[in-house]
Amino acid sequence: MLLVVGLGNPGAGHANNRHNIGYMAIEEIARRHGFGPWRRRFYGLTCEGRFGGRRVTALKPMTYMNLSGQSVGAAMRYYRLDPGEVIVLHDEIDLSPGRVRTKQGGGNAGHNGLHSLDSHIGRNYRRVRFGVGHPGDANAVPNYVLRDFAKADTPWIDAVVDAVATEIGALAAGDTAGFMNRISLATEASRPPPPDSTD
């Protein structure tokens, strides 16, 4: 069993927020892999399917970002999972828009959703970090992540969400290098240039 979690905030008003790219990704993963219908469980919404021969539960915590660990912890206890059997999809302000990175364990860099997870399940879960860029001022971060993406961001958002949904089975199987290589190739053309680029 594998638990794949997309972080975000519930409600239509948050649907296109930067903080909700984890929701966007988990919804596309469930759609792409033909998971069953969403239903309310574990203080969230879940649906089930498979990556190859491995059973997978997808989870969208409905507790709001800052309490995500409550939902993930409940699911982990029910399925008797270790943190290493959990993959969390989330926004990352310390990566430029369109970049994707993976990580297992480590700090939460002030991300409130990850802070909640750390408190409930420890730090040794796997992460897929979706770069959304930084506003340039630490004081502006809370408002920045709760604002909608710009329309100009749509091409790279679609590209990274599509690529992760397509390749997530490789990550689930432990092929992190292959997952990252294919994500990089699939998203390279759509990534916006860095802010200081002269291209």
Q: pLDDT at position 53, please?
A: 84
Predicted confidence (pLDDT) per residue in 144-173, tens digit: 999 999 999 999 999 999 999 999 999 998
Q: pLDDT at position 195, please?
A: 59
Q: How confident is the model at residue 197 (pLDDT cuts 50, 70, 90)?
A: very low
Q: pLDDT at position 194, please?
A: 66
Q: Go through the domains of the chain in sequence order and give each one's CATH number.
A: 2-190 (3.40.50.1470)
Distance from C-alpha of 76 to C-alpha of 98, rounded to nearest angstrom: 30
Q: Average pLDDT, stretch 36-51? A: 95
Q: How confident is the model at residue 11 (pLDDT cuts 50, 70, 90)?
A: very high
pLDDT beyond 50 at 67: yes
Where b means 16+ CB within 10 Å and e means fewer, 87-98 reads: bbbbbbbebbbb
pTM over 0.85: yes
Q: pLDDT at position 198, please?
A: 39
Q: pLDDT at position 109, please?
A: 72
Residues of the chain by 3-state class (helix, strand, coil), percent to 5:
45, 20, 30
Q: How far is CA 56 from the centre of its chain?
A: 15
| Contact between 17 and 28 (Cβ < 8 Å) | no
Which residues contact residue 61 at a Cβ distance below 8 angstroms, ignoring those fewer than 6 apart? Answer: 5, 7, 8, 42, 43, 44, 67, 68, 70, 71, 72
Set 14, 19, 90, 134: catalytic member: 19
- Would you call 19 a catalytic residue per the annotation? yes
Distance from C-alpha of 87 to C-alpha of 41, rounded to nearest angstrom: 18
Q: Average pLDDT, stretch 3-31? A: 95
Q: DSSP label at 94?
A: T
Closest CA to 161 of 11, 6, 2: 6
